C-alpha cells in the first residue's frame, strides 16, 4: 500500500517554464488537496477536489491549475513559473471531509530561478 | 472565514519536562481540530484530532490535546518530552460544512537532552 505518491521529489525550473507535479493515491479517497509550504508561513491550500471531475480553489490558487479525471490522480500544473512559486509542494488525500485525517505525500521541492 | 493561529515559532523544553504547543482557532459552527507533525524532509503525519465529545483527546506517541471552546484553543501537550519529539508541529482546523482544512504557521519544538 503506497499511500500518496508525488513525483518528482526535486525540480529546478527557469522563469517562464511550465511543469506538472504528479500526485496519485491508492486508497480510493474522494478528497485530494494541494498545499505549498513556505518557511514561517505554514501550509497554504492551493486547490482541492472532492471527487473526480470536481475541483475548487483554495487560499492561493493564482498561477496554478489542476484537473481530476480519475479518483487516483490529481496533477498540479504550473504555467509560466515565477520565483514566487519556489516552495515545497505537498499533495494529500482523505476519505471524506469533516473529521477525517489527511494522508500526505513526501513532497516536491521546486526552485524557480 | 476560518483561521488558525500558532503564536510561538519555537518552543524549547528539556527532556523529561512537560511540553505545551499552543493553538487557537476561529471558525463558524463546530470545529474539527487536528494536530500534525513533520520531521525533516518528510510529509506531515497525523497525531490526533477532536471532533466531538471528551475535551481531552489522546493521540500518537503519548501526545494529547485539550479542546477549550470558550477560549477557542486546542493546545498540544505531553507529560514528559523526548529528544525524538523534536520536529515541526502544525495545528489545523476545518469548520463545519466546509471542505477546506486550514493549517497554522507551525511551531518548531526543540527538546534538549
Whether the ω angle into residue A8 lies within 30 degrees of 0, i.e. cis, is yes
Contact B49 A98 (CB under 8 A): no
Beta strand pairing status for A19-25 and A31-38? unpaired
Given pLDDT bands bounded at 50, 70 and 90, which one contains residue A56?
very high
Q: Is A59 left (phi over 0), alpha (psi -120 to 50) or beta?
A: alpha
Contact A97 B51 (CB under 8 A): no
Mean pLDDT over residues A50-75, rounded? Answer: 95
The residue of B34, B87, B99, B100 whose CB has the most chain A CBs within 10 angstroms, and thus the best one to mutate to test that interface, is B99
Q: What is the pLDDT of residues B35-91, one digit of tens each?
A: 999 998 788 999 999 998 889 999 999 999 999 999 999 999 999 999 999 999 999
Given pLDDT bands bounded at 50, 70 and 90, which one contains residue B99?
confident
Of A31, A42, A98, the CB nearest to B103: A42
Quick check: B1 pLDDT over 80?
no
Q: What is the pLDDT of residues B5-17, one digit of tens each?
A: 999 999 999 999 9
Question: From CA B75, how far away is CA A52, in angstroms rounded?
Answer: 36
- Cell numbers representing residue A102 in the block: 489527511
Mean pLDDT over residues A42-54, rounded? Answer: 93
Amino acid at each position: 500500500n503506497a499511500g500518496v505518491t508525488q513525483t518528482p521529489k526535486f525540480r529546478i525550473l527557469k522563469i517562464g517554464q511550465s511543469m506538472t507535479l504528479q500526485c496519485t493515491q491508492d486508497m480510493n479517497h474522494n478528497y485530494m488537496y494541494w498545499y505549498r509550504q513556505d518557511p514561517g508561513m505554514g501550509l497554504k491550500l492551493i486547490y482541492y477536489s472532492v471527487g473526480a471531475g470536481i475541483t475548487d480553489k483554495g487560499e492561493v490558487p493564482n498561477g496554478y491549475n489542476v484537473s481530476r479525471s480519475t479518483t487516483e490522480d490529481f496533477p498540479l500544473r504550473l504555467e509560466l513559473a515565477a520565483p514566487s512559486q519556489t516552495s515545497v509542494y505537498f499533495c494529500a488525500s482523505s476519505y471524506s471531509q469533516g473529521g477525517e485525517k489527511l494522508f500526505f505525500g513526501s513532497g516536491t521541492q521546486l526552485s524557480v530561478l | 472565514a476560518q483561521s488558525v493561529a500558532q503564536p510561538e515559532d519555537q518552543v524549547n523544553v528539556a527532556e523529561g519536562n512537560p511540553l505545551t504547543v499552543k493553538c487557537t482557532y476561529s471558525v463558524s459552527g463546530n470545529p474539527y481540530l487536528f494536530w500534525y507533525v513533520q520531521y525533516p524532509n518528510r510529509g506531515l503525519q497525523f497525531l490526533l484530532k477532536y471532533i466531538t465529545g471528551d475535551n481531552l483527546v489522546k493521540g500518537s506517541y503519548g501526545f494529547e490535546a485539550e479542546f477549550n471552546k470558550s477560549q477557542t484553543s486546542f493546545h498540544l501537550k505531553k507529560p514528559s518530552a523526548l529528544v525524538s519529539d523534536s520536529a515541526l508541529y502544525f495545528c489545523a482546523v476545518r469548520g463545519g460544512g466546509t471542505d477546506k482544512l486550514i493549517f497554522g504557521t507551525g511551531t518548531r519544538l526543540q527538546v534538549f537532552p
